[in-house]
């Protein structure tokens, strides 16, 4: 996909976004690349298993990624029937950030909430946010699973932390954020179709 294309016409942006999604990379914990459909199937398997165990699914992100986490939580609860929640309540998050530093805020919250077999959906456009990486490390230490969504550099540190990793090959925040939202929405919609079929 062409990088930093200056053509901002809607038609050109739609074509670029389509190419970005088609080129999404899913990798497992060992870095093995999966096809798009195998990657989505693995994500659904991870979330379905959490639902069957009555485990929790936590979602974290900063800024626009926090908005994506909130939207995905709504879809995961309402459509996918998951025990999903964000962990960015303003009072709790600012307490932890004030007491332990922002880089440790999500990790401190999850050290109390997350348990074995819970799932963390960790969203970071750059994959470099220390607070998101620390949250992922905490959930892994507690015996949970981590699904990461990132973009920008292919070798960003978050991408190496998940049991399943979704990476978008773009440095455009808008594309990466909307791409993450699109993929998470697609997962929720597939759960919704399963419910209707069942």
pTM: 0.95
Query: Distance between alpha carbon 87 and the CA centroid of its chain, in Å?
Result: 13
List the 56-60 sheet strands across, edge first.
33-34, 25-28, 164-167, 145-150, 119-124, 56-60, 83-86
Structure tokens at 145: 């699973």
User: pLDDT digit of tens for each residue in the chain (198 aa)?
Assistant: 445 557 899 999 999 999 999 999 999 999 999 999 999 999 999 999 999 999 999 999 999 999 999 999 999 999 999 999 999 999 999 999 999 999 999 999 999 999 999 999 999 999 999 999 999 999 999 999 999 999 999 999 999 999 999 999 999 999 999 999 999 999 999 999 998 887
- The CATH homologous superfamily of the domain defined by 23-197: Glucose-6-phosphate isomerase like protein; domain 1 (3.40.50.10490)
Structural domain spans, the chain? 23-197
The pLDDT assigned to 77 comes to: 98
């Amino acid at each position: 996909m062409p990088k930093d294309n200056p053509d901002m016409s809607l038609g050109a942006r739609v074509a670029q976004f389509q190419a970005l999604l088609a080129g999404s990379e899913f990798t497992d914990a060992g870095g093995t690349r999966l096809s798009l459909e195998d990657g989505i199937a693995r994500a659904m398997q991870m979330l379905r298993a959490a639902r069957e165990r009555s485990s929790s699914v936590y979602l974290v992100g900063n800024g626009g990624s926090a908005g994506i986490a909130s939207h995905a939580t709504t879809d995961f609860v309402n459509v996918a029937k998951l025990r999903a929640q964000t962990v960015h309540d303003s009072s709790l998050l600012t307490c932890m950030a004030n007491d332990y530093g922002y880089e440790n805020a999500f990790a401190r919250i999850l050290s109390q909430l997350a348990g074995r077999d819970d799932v963390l959906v960790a969203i970071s456009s750059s994959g470099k946010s220390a607070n998101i990486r620390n949250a992922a490390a905490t959930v892994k230490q507690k015996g949970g699973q981590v699904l990461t969504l990132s973009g920008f550099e292919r070798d960003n540190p978050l991408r190496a932390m998940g049991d399943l990793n979704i990476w978008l090959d773009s440095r455009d925040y808008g594309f990466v954020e909307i791409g993450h939202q699109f993929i998470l929405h697609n997962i929720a919609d597939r759960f919704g179709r399963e419910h209707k079929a069942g």
